[in-house]
C-alpha cells in the first residue's frame, strides 16, 4: 500500500452526528486519475476535504505517499500535505491579482516575491492567460477564473491533485476546453489526481478508474468501461449514464440495457412514445412487453411518435436483485468477464 500516492482506509466522517462518509476505502497509484462520481450530497466534497485536511475523520485513516496524514487522533494541517486543490467556486482571493494568487504557493514555500512572480507568470502563460496577470478575480470570466485556480494548484507542485467539481460553474462551451486543458496539464506533471464530478460523460472520458459514491459509501470501483458495462446495481447504472431496466414475464432477473445496446428493426415489437433529436444521434423511447426502453441510433429521427416498429438487443447486463447481501454479485468482481444475457422470451 505504501507504493500508492493516496490510500484511504475505512474513512468515516460525520457532521454533528449526521454521517457523511462511512467506511470509505480507496487507493490511487502514482500518476493515476481516479474519478469520484456521485449525486450531490453523496459525500464527494466531504471525501476531498478530508483528504485535504479541512476536516478530521471520526474513524479511519488517510495515507499520502506512505505517510499517515489523517486519523481519528491526529490530523496533519493542509499546508503540510503534499497536495493541491482546484475548487468548485474557484476560491480566488478578491484582494490579490491573478499573478499574486499563482505566486502564493511559492511565497509560502519561502521564495522571494520576484522569484515567485516570475514562476507564476510562466504557469499563467502556459495556460494562455498570461495577459490577465494583473487582473483581480472580479475582472475575470468564469473560465478565466478557473484557469487561475488551476494555475495556483500547478504552482504547488504537489504529487496529488484534488479537483472538486471544477467545471460545475462553467458554461458548457468552456467546460470541454477547460477539462482537456486540466487533464493535459495534470498528466504533464506526472502527479496523481482525484476528480469529483456528477457528470458521467465528463468523468468516464478522463479517468483511469472510477469510484461510484452514494449516501457516503463507495458502491463500486472499476475502470470506466467496467462501471459502465457492469454496474453493481440500478443506482450505479444510473450514475454512469442513461439506462433502461427491462423485466421478464418469467420473474427471472431484471436486465439493464444501455441505449446503444439496442437498435431498431429486429425481432421484437414496440411502439414509439417519444422521439428526441440530439444532434449526432436520435433517442427513441419505446413501450415494449418488458417495459420502457431507450434506444439510441445515429442520425436524424427515422420514425414519428406513435409508430409501431420492431427492435432487437445486442447486449444486456443482468441485475442482481438483492445487491451486496445474499449472493456474491458477479458484477462486484471486476475481473469477471462481461456476461451477456439474452432477454427471456
- Locate all alpha helices (DSSP H) within 83-208, ordered by sequence: 98-109, 113-126, 142-155, 172-189, 200-206
Distance from C-alpha of 329 to C-alpha of 327, rounded to nearest angstrom: 6
229 near another protein (CB under 8 A)? no
Please name which of 252, 250, 308 lies closest in space to residue 284, comparing C-alpha atoms. 308
| List 43, 105, 222, 270, residue binding another protein (CB under 8 A) | 105
Region of 45-53, 124-132, 261-269, 294-302 interacting with another protein (CB under 8 A): 45-53
| Between 89 and 225, CB nearer to another protein | 89
| List 78, 241, 266, 344, residue binding another protein (CB under 8 A) | 78
Fill in the DSSP letter of residue 336. S
User: Euclidean distance between the first and final Cα of the chain, in Å?
Assistant: 48
109 near another protein (CB under 8 A)? yes
| List 9, 54, 168, 309, residue binding another protein (CB under 8 A) | 54
> Would you call 229 helix, strand, or coil by DSSP?
helix
60 near another protein (CB under 8 A)? no
Q: How far is CA 103 from CA 95, 98, 121, 280, in A?
A: 14, 9, 8, 43
Q: How far is the CB of 226 from another protein (least distance, A)?
A: 31
Task: Please give the residues from 152 up to 171 whose contact with another protein meets the rule CB under 8 A.
Answer: 152, 155-156, 162
| List 21, 64, 69, 83, residue binding another protein (CB under 8 A) | 83
Count, residues near another protein per rule CB under 8 A: 30
| Between 7 and 81, CB nearer to another protein | 81
Distance from C-alpha of 324 to C-alpha of 285, rounded to nearest angstrom: 31
Answer whether 11's CB lies under 8 Å from 71's CB: no
95 near another protein (CB under 8 A)? yes
Distance from C-alpha of 224 to C-alpha of 229, rounded to nearest angstrom: 9
| Between 148 and 313, CB nearer to another protein | 148
Binding mask 133-152 for another protein (x = CB under 8 A): ----------------x--x
> Would you call 171 helix, strand, or coil by DSSP?
coil
> Would you call 99 helix, strand, or coil by DSSP?
helix
- Locate all alpha helices (DSSP H) within the chain, ordered by sequence: 44-52, 98-109, 113-126, 142-155, 172-189, 200-206, 224-229, 234-239
Q: How far is the CB of 40 from another protein (least distance, A)?
A: 16
| Between 85 and 255, CB nearer to another protein | 85
| List 1, 17, 18, 77, residue binding another protein (CB under 8 A) | 77
What angle, rounded to 10 degrees, do the helices at 113-126 and 142-155 form?
Answer: 130
| List 3, 66, 67, 93, residue binding another protein (CB under 8 A) | 93
- Quick one: residue 279, left, alpha or beta (phi over 0 = left, psi -120 to 50 = alpha)? left
| Between 87 and 195, CB nearer to another protein | 87
Region of 70-78, 183-191, 203-211, 268-276 interacting with another protein (CB under 8 A): 70-78
- Which positions touch another protein (CB under 8 A)? 49, 52-56, 75, 77-79, 81, 83-85, 87, 89, 91-95, 104-105, 108-109, 149, 152, 155-156, 162
Amino acid at each position: 500500500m505504501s507504493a500508492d500516492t493516496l490510500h484511504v482506509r475505512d474513512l468515516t466522517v460525520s457532521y454533528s452526528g449526521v454521517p457523511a462518509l462511512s467506511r470509505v476505502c480507496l487507493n490511487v497509484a502514482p500518476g493515476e486519475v481516479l474519478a469520484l462520481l456521485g449525486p450531490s450530497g453523496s459525500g464527494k466534497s466531504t471525501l476531498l476535504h478530508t483528504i485535504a485536511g479541512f476536516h478530521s475523520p471520526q474513524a479511519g485513516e488517510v495515507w499520502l505517499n506512505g505517510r499517515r496524514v489523517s486519523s481519528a487522533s491526529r490530523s496533519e494541517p493542509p499546508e503540510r500535505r503534499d497536495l493541491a486543490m482546484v475548487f468548485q467556486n474557484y476560491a480566488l482571493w478578491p484582494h490579490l491579482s491573478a499573478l499574486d494568487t499563482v505566486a502564493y504557493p511559492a511565497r509560502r514555500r519561502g521564495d522571494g516575491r520576484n522569484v515567485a512572480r516570475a514562476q507564476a507568470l510562466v504557469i499563467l502563460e502556459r495556460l494562455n492567460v498570461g495577459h490577465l496577470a494583473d487582473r483581480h478575480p472580479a475582472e475575470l470570466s468564469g473560465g478565466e477564473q478557473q484557469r487561475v485556480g488551476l494555475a495556483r494548484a500547478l504552482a504547488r507542485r504537489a504529487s496529488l491533485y484534488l479537483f472538486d467539481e471544477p467545471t460545475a460553474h462553467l458554461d458548457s462551451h468552456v467546460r470541454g476546453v477547460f477539462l482537456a486543458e486540466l487533464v493535459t496539464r495534470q498528466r504533464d506533471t506526472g502527479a496523481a489526481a482525484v476528480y469529483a464530478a456528477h457528470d458521467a460523460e465528463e468523468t468516464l472520458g478522463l479517468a483511469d478508474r472510477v469510484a461510484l459514491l452514494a449516501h457516503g459509501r463507495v458502491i463500486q470501483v472499476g475502470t470506466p468501461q467496467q462501471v459502465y458495462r457492469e454496474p453493481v446495481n440500478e443506482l450505479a447504472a444510473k450514475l454512469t449514464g442513461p439506462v433502461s431496466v427491462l423485466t421478464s414475464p418469467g420473474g427471472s432477473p431484471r436486465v439493464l440495457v444501455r441505449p446503444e445496446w439496442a437498435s431498431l428493426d429486429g425481432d421484437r415489437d414496440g411502439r414509439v412514445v417519444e422521439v428526441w433529436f440530439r444532434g449526432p444521434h436520435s433517442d427513441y423511447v419505446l413501450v415494449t412487453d418488458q417495459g420502457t426502453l431507450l434506444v439510441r441510433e445515429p442520425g436524424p429521427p427515422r420514425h414519428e411518435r406513435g409508430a409501431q416498429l420492431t427492435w432487437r438487443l445486442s447486449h444486456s447486463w443482468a441485475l442482481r436483485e438483492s445487491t451486496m447481501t445474499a449472493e456474491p454479485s458477479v458484477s462486484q468482481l471486476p475481473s469477471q468477464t462481461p456476461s451477456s444475457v439474452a432477454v427471456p422470451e
